Amino acid sequence: MISTLILTTMMAANPLPAPTWIPQGQTYIRVQHLHAIDNLDKGDMFGKNRADFFAYVTVDGVMYKTSIMSKDDGYPGWMIPIDTNRRVNKIHLALMDEDGGLEGKDDHVDINPLKYHKDLMFNYDRQTGRISGDVSGRYNRQITSRGGGDNDKGIITFEITRA
């Protein structure tokens, strides 16, 4: 519930397009793998029975919107830069299924195992390399999170690494 409210607020802002290129030495989030558990286009008017994944990723209040990957299972390779002038970065990851045209009709994919939570919110501590929050892990290690308890479930695998 809370994550949905935050997402709605974020969507009012103008997201930056996620970059297609990361300069050498830059720390970034790399979304490696996505998988649709539920049929995200079931019952949609122009549904093709195939997910059209994209993400809103907010890093320290700056929101990026990725490109669309139209596959139920695939490797989007999305890259979102992280500013490591801060010791701790706050990251909010929302996965969506694009449904075209009408504003607000996109489906919100559940990648959080907790009921009533669809998004992932976590911190990255540059000094310890630790990732903590809705997911936990470390710098340069893949993190996989599977949605549960809500509709439109999916699985995401990503890592924080350096170019």
In the complex, the residues that contact Ca ion under the rule CB under 5 A are 40-41, 44, 52, 97, 99, 107, 110, 112, 117, 149-150
**Least distance CB 139 / Ca ion (angstroms):** 26
**Least distance CB 127 / Ca ion (angstroms):** 31
First-to-final CA distance of the chain: 35
Are residues 109 and 154 in contact, defined by beta-carbon separation less than 8 angstroms?
yes
Among residues 10 and 130, whose Cβ is nearest to Ca ion? 10
Q: What CA–CA distances, in Å, run from 163 to 23, 82, 110?
A: 7, 11, 29
**Least distance CB 87 / Ca ion (angstroms):** 30
Among residues 3 and 161, whose Cβ is nearest to Ca ion? 3
Among residues 28 and 97, whose Cβ is nearest to Ca ion? 97
Cα angle 42-44-49, degrees, rounded to a multiple of 5: 45
**Least distance CB 47 / Ca ion (angstroms):** 6
Among residues 4 and 132, whose Cβ is nearest to Ca ion? 4
Among residues 69 and 131, whose Cβ is nearest to Ca ion? 69
**Least distance CB 134 / Ca ion (angstroms):** 10
